[in-house]
Structure 1
Amino acid sequence: MKPEVNIILVPKLISTAHKLRLGHEADGSHDFGECLDLINGILPELQDSGALMALFQNMLAAQERHDWLALADCLEYELPLLLQQSAISQG
């Protein structure tokens, strides 16, 4: 994975999670869309895209049921870990 994407993406994921936890759902949802756009750009480079797609399904389901805390947990903990594991397996 490109280092600059990791430098931009992971902080954006964490910032989005914090917005959702603080009850700023509109801003968090907007930023979530931006995060998905960034991830879409690096999908071909990721090793375990199946795990990523499963996590995306969980995140979108959480968003649909307005479970902002579950979405925030995925964005702050699960997704960055998955992205880092993909970067390690490529290196």
Structure 2
Amino acid sequence: MKNDVRAILIPKLISTAHKLRLGQEADGSRDFGACIDLLTGILPELQDTKAVMALFQTMLAAQERHDWLALADCLEYELPLLLQQPTTGQA
């Protein structure tokens, strides 16, 4: 994954999580969509795409249930950890 995309995506994930925790669901959902767009662009470069896709399903299910705290936890803690793993093609 390119460092510039990671430098943009991870802070955006955390910012989105904070909005959801503060009850700003509309802004958080809009930002979540932007995060998904960034993530899908780099998905082929990720080391563990299966784990990312499984987490993706968990996040979408949380959004459907309006479980904003569970979604925020995934966005702030779990997904950034997966994104910080070495990408394919890196040592």
Kindly, what percent of the aligned residue pairs are identical? 78
Q: Normalising by the residue count of structure 2, what TM-score does the alignment of the two structures yield?
A: 0.94
The alpha carbon displacement at 1:68 in A equals 0.2
CA–CA separation in structure 1 for the residues paired with 2:9 and 2:90: 18
The aligned amino acid for 1:63 is Q
C-alpha RMSD of matched pairs (Å): 1.5
CA–CA separation in structure 2 for the residues paired with 1:89 and 1:77: 25
> What stretches of structure 1 move > 2 A for 4+ residues in a row?
86-91
The answer on 1:72 being equivalent to 2:61 is no
CA–CA separation in structure 2 for the residues paired with 1:85 and 1:66: 29
Q: Normalising by the residue count of structure 1, what TM-score does the alignment of the two structures yield?
A: 0.94
CA contact (8 A) 1:48 1:86 kept: no
Q: How many corresponding residue pairs?
A: 91
What is residue 51 of structure 1 aligned with on the other side? 51
Q: Which runs of 5+ in 2 are unaligned?
A: none
Q: Which runs of 5+ in 1 are unaligned?
A: none
Could you say which structure has the higher helix fraction? 1
CA–CA separation in structure 1 for the residues paired with 2:17 and 2:89: 26
